Amino acid sequence: MKDLNKRIAALPEQRRAILARLVAKDAESRNSALKAEEANARPPQHQPREQYDIVIMGGGLAGLSLAIQLRRAVPQASLLIVNSTTYPAPEAAHKVGESSVEIGAHYYDTIIGFKEHLEDRQLRKMGLRFFSPYGDNSDISKRVELGPFENHILPIPSYQIDRGRFENALAVQAARDGAGFVDECKVKDVDLGAEGAPHVVHLERAGEQFQVKARWVIDAAGRAALLRRKLGLTKPSEHNVNSVWLRIKLPIDLEKFSDDRDWRGRMLTGFRQYSTNHLMDRGYWVWLIRLASGSTSVGIVADPRLHPLETYNREDRFIDWLDRNEPQVGDLVRRNRHLIQDFLAIKKLAHTTEQAYSNDRWALVGDAALFTDPLYSLGSDFIGMGNTLVTEMVRQDLSGVDISAHVDFFNWLLLDFLYDSGIRIFQDQYPLMGNAQVFVAKALWDIAWYWATIGPIFFHDRVSDLEFMKSIKQELIHFKVLQRKMQDFFREWDLATKDEVFSGRHVDLTKIPFLYPLVHLEMDAGYDEDTLRRKLRDNVSLLETMGAEMVLRAYGAYPAAPMTDTGMTLQEHFARTAPRADIHEELKRAWVGAKAESALAAGQSF
């Protein structure tokens, strides 16, 4: 891929533009060629038996991908998937969850083996791209932009996923792999069996009631959350944002929002539209996601304290809201209103659970367990990690191993580490989306945290390795403490600087070498167990050093106390990351304001 990037870079601008058009066209024509075949695919319907090893309740993204993973991990186990709606699902206007990042993409392309589908029938994504506000947001070229630039195709891939198209392919594959698949069938209730007794799942199909028994029941019913509700496990989240979205049968290319030559020239023509594009301002962000079926997904996510849901919860209000806040998108949607394919909303997106896994052989996956926030597209990451933990517990249990140690640790890992560290990224952070300097620094921090912590663990296939994970519990706790402290810092820094205005700068993630390619590529470096453990220890210091440097650049002085509970001083962390003292220098490239430079000049230096 590096070579490819170099070869593309060497082409004259005109040739590069042609190449971009060809890449886009090629992806779209291959997609439409496959459309008819896929749209007609309904998995063969299975005649339910009396008893299974595993019943998965809900055949959406989490349930279907888990079925494929389980069939490969425990091929001897019988498995039934029950889904209330009918397949095939419609393309484009199906569900949200269209943008993937590295962990979710790796889960789909490598772990469950959908690389060919993702490369051929979905869109390769050009990274995450963020536009901070400027003025009335009517000129995109004036907005501070964070992303990869030029021709950069990140070597670890991610995709934009048309959910209907993907779920159709997953359902066909799950049935082909030997899972029993029944759609138009509703789970009405579950009687959980204790101490080894089978669970009884009550089902209804075409007005007929019947039941099946199972050793394992997995709740993959999304927000219907059958077991979480039945067992009273729901924990409301303090993070409160709402979202409304639509799909429009229009390929939105936001590059056409401006003719500014410098702005256009930053990026290979035609490539920007394949990023997950985020248009941000105080209290909200708007997503633009291109889909392989030719549509664009457009959504608003907002903190109701700044943008009440009633201001954008109907189609006319949605367009009016866009006109007021994101006029360039508003204008396009209004002019093409006849092409709108659906219009949907969810209130109060975040939730979690007291418990996700039980010794009594039940588990919650996907949205049935928890959800944090759509920013950074972590939904598929949680699906990939949760499904991998569940696959390991089922595998151990079916081979006669006592899984209580797995259940305890994996509940801690999912809820106390992953959810807690995840929700801090978003909770009370929507106001700072209006502060270009703070948001750019925060986004780099958030990405670095992800690439340096759970990214390498998942890519090295260790997330469900109980002994390994227990051996790094202290590092995980340090990562979590660091996350909390840094998110507090970003919030406070925003309060101190929220009236500052930034414009005309762009920050290229790929030009911050300690972060990219280093931390990005180390995620998938193929380390052995000991090297990975050492690397994670070093990454505690790397993140502490990065955090301290950000505080220095923001306030002109290093933080007084260490930002972890390691017992190491800041100087000791610096010493440990000595080969990476470059962080101090390279963070300059992430600073969008001149003021920070003068504050820095007045303060300490390395």
Q: Which residues bind ligand FAD (CB under 6 A)?
A: 57-63, 82-85, 95-100, 104, 186-187, 220-222, 224, 226, 243, 245, 299, 346, 349, 366-368, 374, 377, 379-380, 383
Tell me whether strands 145-147 and 506-508 are parallel, antiparallel or unpaired: parallel
Complex with ligand FAD: residue 450 or 591, whichever CB lies closer: 450
Q: Report yes or no: 131 and 144 within 8 Å, Cβ to Cβ.
A: yes
- Kindly state the smallest distance separating residue 72's Cβ from ligand FAD, in Å: 19
Give me the least distance between CB of 332 and ligand FAD, in Å please. Answer: 20
Phi and psi of 353, rounded to 5°?
-135, 155
Q: How far is the CB of 326 from ligand FAD (least distance, A)?
A: 16
Nearer to ligand FAD, 246 or 466 (CB): 246
Return d(Cα 395, Cα 66) in angstroms, integer.
13
Nearer to ligand FAD, 108 or 149 (CB): 108
**How near is the Cβ of 306 to ligand FAD at its closest, in Å?**
17
Least Cβ distance, residue 160 to ligand FAD (angstroms):
9
Residue closer to ligand FAD, measured from CB, 160 or 564: 160
Q: How far is the CB of 137 from ligand FAD (least distance, A)?
A: 21
In DSSP notation, 486-544 reads: HHHHHHHHHHHHTT----S-EEEGGG-TIIIIIIHHHTTS---HHHHHHHHHHHHHHHH
Residue 219 and residue 286 in contact, taking contact as beta carbons nearer than 8 Å = no
Q: Let me know: does 394 contact 74? Beta carbons within 8 Å.
A: yes
Pick the closer one to ligand FAD by CB: 63 or 593.
63
Q: Of 198 and 374, which has the nearer Cβ to ligand FAD?
A: 374
Amino acid at 158: S
Q: Apex CA 480: angle with CA 475 and CA 485, to 5°?
A: 125
Omega of the bond prior to 148 within 30 degrees of 0, cis? no
What is the C-alpha to C-alpha distance for residues 372 and 351, in angstroms, rounded to an integer?
7
Q: CA-to-CA distance for 484 and 502, rounded, in angstroms?
A: 26
The contacts of residue 177 (CB under 8 Å, 6+ apart) are: 67, 68, 71, 72
Residue number with CB closer to ligand FAD (229 or 511): 229
Q: How far is the CB of 179 from ligand FAD (least distance, A)?
A: 14
Closest CA to 16 of 3, 7, 25: 7
Question: Is 59 or 133 the residue whose CB approaches ligand FAD more closely?
Answer: 59
Q: Residue 256 CB, nearest distance to ligand FAD (Å)?
A: 23
Encode 326-385 in three state secondary structure. CHHHHHHHHHCHHHEEEEEEECCCCEEECCCEECCCEEECHHHCCECCCCCCCHHHHHHH
**Smallest separation, CB 497 to ligand FAD (Å):** 29
Residue (98 or 102) nearer to ligand FAD, CB: 98
The sign of the CA dihedral 198, 199, 202, 203 is negative
User: Helix (H, G, I), strand (E, B), or coil: what is residue 210?
Assistant: strand
